[in-house]
Amino acid sequence: MSEQTYEPKIVGFLCNWCSYAGADLAGAARLKYPPNIKIIRVPCSGRVSPELVIRTFREGADGVMVLGCHIGDCHYATGNHRTARRMPVLRALLEFTGIESERLLVKWVSSSEGELFAQTVREFTEKLRQMPPLGLRMTSSK
């Protein structure tokens, strides 16, 4: 299993107002976290459709992170309430299709929680390292 060379690939969808700013803070504060994540900025975690997550796995990601503002702090009032309701359903769906649901991480990280962001990436990378690569890369026409 865990060959020395396997490095998980993580795509993080971070909301612009809280989590993206939190990640920015992690950088500004020079906190260390593994380079296994690439971040995609979305306006709100509510913008992340289940389909986009599945698509990301299909394109070869080993893990997907959806980070948004804490409940009650959403810049768009209740956008993250949608995320909170949508993602558990997606998780069940992932299990159904044979993708371990732990590969999808949904968490609330505020713009002041740079350390929480760094720690989340560290822990998630570590967890994925213990799992085999997902290797779902398929050619897509679009």
Partner 1 sequence: MMDAGRHPNITLLTYSEVESVSGYVGNFVVRIRKRARSVKEDLCTGCGTCEENCPRRVVDTVYEAGLGYRTAIYRPFAQAVPAIPVIDRENCLYFTKGKCRICEKVCPTHAIDYTQEDTILEVEVGNIILATGFDPFDARRIPQFGYGRFPNVFTSLELERMLSGAGPTGGKVVLRDGKTVPQRVAIIHCVGSRDKNYREYCSRVCCMYSLKLAHLIHHKTHAEVYNFYIDIRAPGKMYEEFYHRVLDEGIHFVRGKVAQVTDAARGPEEEGRLVVQFEDTLTGLQRRMPVDMVVLAIGLEPRHDSREVARLFGISTDADGWFKEKHPKLDPVATMTDGVFVAGCAQGPKDIPDSVAQGAAAAARVLSLIGQGEVEVEAATAVVDELMCVGCGQCIQACPYSAIEYLEDRRIAHVIEALCKGCGTCVGACPSKAISLRHFTDQQLIWEMRGAIYGMQVQHAEHRGN
Spatial neighbors of 69 by CB under 8 A, at least 6 apart, are 15, 17, 18, 19, 45, 75, 80, 108, 110
Question: Which among 25-33, 75-83, 103-111, 123-131 is the span making contact with partner 1, rule CB under 8 A?
Answer: 75-83
- Torsion angle, CA of 68/69/74/79, rounded to 10 degrees? 20
110/32 Cα distance (integer angstroms): 18
- Tell me: does residue 122 bind partner 1 (CB under 8 A): no
Applying CB under 8 A, which of residues 46, 110, 116, 134 lies at the interface with partner 1? 46
Query: Tokens representing 48?
Result: 């992340």
Question: Which among 3-11, 104-112, 113-121, 122-130 is the span making contact with partner 1, rule CB under 8 A?
Answer: 3-11
Contact positions vs partner 1 (CB under 8 A):
5, 7, 9, 11, 35-36, 38-40, 42-44, 46-52, 55-56, 59-61, 72-79, 82-83, 86, 142
